[in-house]
Chain A
Amino acid sequence: MDSCEFSQIEQQLSPVFEQHGYEAQKLLQILLDVQEIYSFIPDEAITYIANLLSVSRVSVKAVVDFYSFLSFKSVGEYRVLFSDNITDQMLGKNELMQYFCKKMWLEPGKVSEDNLLSVDSTSCTGMCDQGPAALVNGWPLTNLDQQRLDLIAKLIRDRNPVSTWPAMLFEVKDNIYRSEILLGKPSVAGAAIKATLERGVAATLSEIEASKLRGRGGAGYSTANKWSSCRTSPGTAHYIVCNADEGEPGTFKDRVLLNSYADLVLEGMTIAAKIIGATQGFLYLRGEYRYLRRKLEEVLAQRRTAGLLGRSILGELGFDFDIEIHLGAGAYICGEESALIESLEGKSGRPRNRPPFPVTHGYLDQPTVVDNVETFACVSKIAEYDSAWFTALGTAQSSGSKILSISGDCARPGIYEYPFGVALYEIFDDCGAEDVHAVQVSGPSGTLVSCKEFRRRICFEDLPTAGALIIFNRERDILQVALNSAHFFAYESCGFCTPCRVGTQLQKKIIDKISDGYGTAYDLEELKYIGHIMRTMSHCGLGHTAANQVIDMLDKFPDAYKNKLKKLVFEPAFDLDRALEKARKITGRDDKLAHFP
């Protein structure tokens, strides 16, 4: 791009500021729009934004540098990012990406010379039941195959704007195969709020407590306890945040809830607002789900018109609450609640020190409730019906139902709602999974389960899950599962603390070494110890769980790596022959002494 174009930067960016305002918290939202306009963040824009928001230039740059959907250099008029989850790989992602790059005469990670296109991988985009998937300029592409890529190649070469591409390329299906209390009987918008007002705030909170509802985002903390402490925490304002970051690879149930059950979720947030006394709510939507934004805005508008959001909700004086959508920008760590809050404030998503917890010091240091999308949906249903209706399903410590996102080797990948307590083998029958060898429960941060454990049950007492369930049949290479997760964590570590920042890199190097056929028994011990360090010394859940797949593979799937190991006790940490490649090139030598055998 010509630098003269930037003389108009003020003019070009004025609509962006008009939309978002001039608060420092809006920085990330502003940067996302700037990235869309220029396909990068020009230096001139950084200066301009810093001045308008009264922050330093480095603060702006640090944010650009943190999020993977923002960049200092152009990513081309078209940026195609292939989703890199293990499910995408199982469906041929690597081969397809290679095919596409070859077709476009392009290397992955590079921008074409005419600035037309760049192609790269990105962490799971949440389309595992309809992959291989990708994003083009932020819009999701599903069910990719060579034919579709041929079409996309043509569209790009002809410089057709993405908005004019055939809709079928962007089709995202819900694929709901099994429903219970959440996805089954539809609710009338406003019914749950009405029930809350009739019952009273304290009684509703008691009802939630009696329902024994636990957070659906993974950790399973008691929702009623969280809300009670937030409610009683002093502050100038209280905030409600819906965590729709859904970054855990293999999880896509929040996408379906937001697409088809948005009212249920927003209603849960509104009830929460009434209970803790919040007037402002945020829906933190992962950048990958940006395409849902318009639809969600429409639902929000409808709810305002219907008196379900805004001032005096359902005519109750003083019941004021509204919800704003905030977009993420490609960072898994922003699903962690304190990192999410940092991101909401417009900063890099680094987890805070805890205590203090968000319930006392959250958004802008005020008491804040952060809950998963599904948790809010549950609250709506509990408020509309009652706790007994909810606890009728599930187990002693896990009441109600759980929505699973099932993908991998099965005939019907998609969304399945089960009562808590369902056993894995029961699930296989429903989704048409045969010859199952392993299951990854709750994504890379979860558990890798072997066939000896298929009687285990989905519930907090046994196998807790945020919702992901990936099935591997006997043909699958479990080492690839561990490798995929090691690469994921090395890429997504926020870099704040030593054990995770360095440990995830070391773990990746060693798994790569084993996969390349140079691993030894020594390397396995190294992996175990690095895993121990990450688990016990890290700052947040990302580091605590970053070794899970690797350790589970070592413990439960010896066949996955045993025959890959060298018999020797020790092998160099790097490829000696490759280390000579540069000198061979420079000297033009290729004799025997210029190689290692």
Chain B
Amino acid sequence: MSKNFTLDGKVISFKDGQTIMDAALTAGVYIPHLCHNPKFIPHGSCKLCIVNVNGRNMTSCTMPAGNGMVIENNTSALNDDRKALVQMLFVEGNHTCPSCEASGNCKLQATAYYLEMLSPHYTHFYPPRTVDASHPDIFLDLNRCILCELCVRASRDVDGKNIFKISGRGIGSHLVVNAESGKLGDTNFAVTDKAARVCPTGAILIKRRGYKTPIGHRIYDHKKINEIQAESDHE
């Protein structure tokens, strides 16, 4: 017998072991998400994907789907709260989109567009963060890191290199690089690594590629992130 739940009234079937997010994506329904990528173990930290299951908020990328669940996703209340989370991510880092190579291809930005964010609303933290250009082929600009740990997971689980890790606590949490010097250039990180292509923002950028795609032809210039399904890893 097939199992299913309803998502905003639509019946969606799932297989045992699938999360709500898995089942929704398979069925072609978009649930906003930033730290999730179907190719990696779910992480559950950004909280954009929170849906309301039988009256309770749950993290859809980690919550196993259950038979008969009644789930709300695309409601104005949830989208308002999601927008607040995106605004928090914007003020927490230093996001100067006009001077960012990822602009137009950035999932954080695209999600903000989708949620119709007009301003970051909260007081900016303007945290002092570092840019690491030591690697011949890759920039690491922590000003734009949203701590989604996709690079951590990709490097550990796919590339088998364990180059990244989150260190620190609370608002001081930050991405670190596994090298005595702490520099990306002193690791065996390669431009062909999966971890070089999973960053949802402009924190990990491949050098000499910037602004190659003219404005108007970038991933999210004409299509909303929900239409693109956000499964492509910027490749």
Check A59 for interface membership: any CB of B closer than 8 A. Answer: yes
Complex interface: chain B residues within 8 A of A529 (CB): 84
In the complex, the answer to whether B44 meets A353 with C-beta atoms within 8 Å is yes
Complex interface: chain A residues within 8 A of B37 (CB): none
Complex: how many Å from CA A68 to CA B42? 28
Complex interface: chain A residues within 8 A of B64 (CB): 355
Complex: how many Å from CA A58 to CA B177? 7
Which residues of A (51-72) have their CB < 8 Å from a CB of B? 56-59, 61-62, 65-68
Tell which of A67, A501, A506, A537 touches B50, judged by Cβ atoms closer than 8 Å: A537
Which residues of A (549-572) have their CB < 8 Å from a CB of B? none
Complex interface: chain B residues within 8 A of A502 (CB): 88-89, 91-92, 122, 171
* A-B contact sample (17 more), CB < 8 A, given A65-B172, A499-B47, A504-B171: A56-B165, A58-B177, A62-B176, A67-B169, A68-B169, A355-B64, A493-B170, A496-B173, A499-B85, A499-B88, A506-B88, A529-B84, A533-B84, A533-B85, A536-B50, A536-B57, A537-B81
In the complex, the answer to whether B170 meets A538 with C-beta atoms within 8 Å is no
Check B45 for interface membership: any CB of A closer than 8 A. Answer: yes
Q: A498-B47, A498-B89, A499-B47 are in contact. Are A539 and B59 (CB under 8 A)?
A: yes
Check B168 for interface membership: any CB of A closer than 8 A. Answer: yes
Check A177 for interface membership: any CB of B closer than 8 A. Answer: no
Check B147 for interface membership: any CB of A closer than 8 A. Answer: yes
Complex interface: chain B residues within 8 A of A532 (CB): 81
In the complex, the answer to whether B176 meets A506 with C-beta atoms within 8 Å is no
Complex interface: chain A residues within 8 A of B122 (CB): 502, 506
Give the total of B residues in contact with A, Cβ under 8 Å. Answer: 39
Complex: how many Å from CA A142 to CA B226? 58
Q: A62-B176, A493-B171 are in contact. Are A505 and B125 (CB under 8 A)?
A: yes
Tell which of B42, B92, B171, B178 touches A56, judged by Cβ atoms closer than 8 Å: B178
Check B131 for interface membership: any CB of A closer than 8 A. Answer: no
Check A293 for interface membership: any CB of B closer than 8 A. Answer: no
Q: Which residue of A lies closest to B166 (CB)?
A: A62
Complex: how many Å from CA A502 to CA B178? 26
Interface residues of A (CB under 8 A from B): 47, 56-59, 61-62, 65-68, 331, 348, 353, 355, 490-499, 501-506, 509, 529-530, 532-533, 536-539, 573-574
Interface string of B157-183 (1 = CB under 8 A from A): 000001001111111110011101000
Q: A499-B88, A533-B81 are in contact. Are A65 and B167 (CB under 8 A)?
A: yes
A353 → chain B, closest Cβ, in Å?
Answer: 4
Complex: how many Å from CA A65 to CA B47? 24
Interface residues of B (CB under 8 A from A): 42-48, 50, 57, 59, 62-64, 81, 84-85, 88-89, 91-92, 122-123, 125, 146-147, 162, 165-173, 176-178, 180
In the complex, the answer to whether B88 meets A66 with C-beta atoms within 8 Å is no
B107 → chain A, closest Cβ, in Å?
Answer: 14
Q: A495-B170, A498-B88, A504-B170 are in contact. Are A537 and B47 (CB under 8 A)?
A: yes
The listed residue with most A CB atoms (<10 A of its CB), out of B47, B64, B170, B177, is B170
A532 → chain B, closest Cβ, in Å?
Answer: 8
Complex: how many Å from CA A539 to CA B63? 12
In the complex, the answer to whether B47 meets A501 with C-beta atoms within 8 Å is no
Complex interface: chain A residues within 8 A of B57 (CB): 536-537
Complex interface: chain A residues within 8 A of B89 (CB): 498, 502
In the complex, the answer to whether A573 meets B46 with C-beta atoms within 8 Å is no
Q: A66-B168, A505-B125, A529-B84 are in contact. Are A497 and B173 (CB under 8 A)?
A: no
Complex interface: chain B residues within 8 A of A492 (CB): 170
In the complex, the answer to whether A497 meets B84 with C-beta atoms within 8 Å is no
In the complex, the answer to whether A495 meets B169 with C-beta atoms within 8 Å is yes
In the complex, the answer to whether B166 meets A498 with C-beta atoms within 8 Å is no
Q: Which residue of A lies closest to B122 (CB)?
A: A506
Q: A58-B177, A353-B59 are in contact. Are A501 and B81 (CB under 8 A)?
A: no
Complex interface: chain B residues within 8 A of A538 (CB): 47
In the complex, the answer to whether A496 meets B45 with C-beta atoms within 8 Å is yes
Complex: how many Å from CA A590 to CA B168? 40
Complex interface: chain B residues within 8 A of A56 (CB): 162, 165, 178
In the complex, the answer to whether A501 meets B85 with C-beta atoms within 8 Å is no
A253 → chain B, closest Cβ, in Å?
Answer: 27
In the complex, the answer to whether B123 meets A506 with C-beta atoms within 8 Å is yes
The listed residue with most A CB atoms (<10 A of its CB), out of B46, B59, B122, is B122
Complex: how many Å from CA A23 to CA B177? 23
Complex: how many Å from CA A352 to CA B33? 19
Complex: how many Å from CA A496 to CA B47? 10
If over half of A's interface residues share one DSSP class (helix, strand or loop), that class is named, otherwise mixed; here it is helix
In the complex, the answer to whether B173 meets A495 with C-beta atoms within 8 Å is yes
Chain A to chain B contacts (Cβ below 8 Å), 22 pairs: A56-B165, A57-B180, A61-B176, A65-B172, A66-B167, A66-B169, A68-B169, A353-B42, A353-B43, A495-B172, A497-B46, A498-B47, A498-B85, A498-B88, A501-B173, A502-B92, A505-B171, A506-B88, A530-B84, A532-B81, A536-B81, A538-B47
A97 → chain B, closest Cβ, in Å?
Answer: 22
In the complex, the answer to whether A574 meets B123 with C-beta atoms within 8 Å is yes
Complex: how many Å from CA A504 to CA B169? 13
Complex interface: chain A residues within 8 A of B165 (CB): 56, 58-59, 62
Tell which of A61, A66, A495 touches B171, judged by Cβ atoms closer than 8 Å: A495
In the complex, the answer to whether A498 meets B170 with C-beta atoms within 8 Å is no
In the complex, the answer to whether A490 meets B170 with C-beta atoms within 8 Å is yes
Complex interface: chain A residues within 8 A of B85 (CB): 498-499, 533, 537
Q: Which residue of A lies closest to B43 (CB)?
A: A353
A531 → chain B, closest Cβ, in Å?
Answer: 11
B174 → chain A, closest Cβ, in Å?
Answer: 9
Q: A62-B166, A573-B123 are in contact. Are A539 and B44 (CB under 8 A)?
A: yes
B172 → chain A, closest Cβ, in Å?
Answer: 7
Q: A490-B171, A537-B81 are in contact. Are A503 and B162 (CB under 8 A)?
A: no
In the complex, the answer to whether B45 meets A61 with C-beta atoms within 8 Å is no
Q: Which residue of B lies closest to A493 (CB)?
A: B170
Complex interface: chain B residues within 8 A of A494 (CB): 169-170
Q: Which residue of B lies closest to A538 (CB)?
A: B47
Complex: how many Å from CA A505 to CA B93? 13
Complex: how many Å from CA A506 to CA B87? 12
In the complex, the answer to whether A491 meets B162 with C-beta atoms within 8 Å is no
Q: Which residue of B lies closest to A513 (CB)?
A: B123
B168 → chain A, closest Cβ, in Å?
Answer: 5
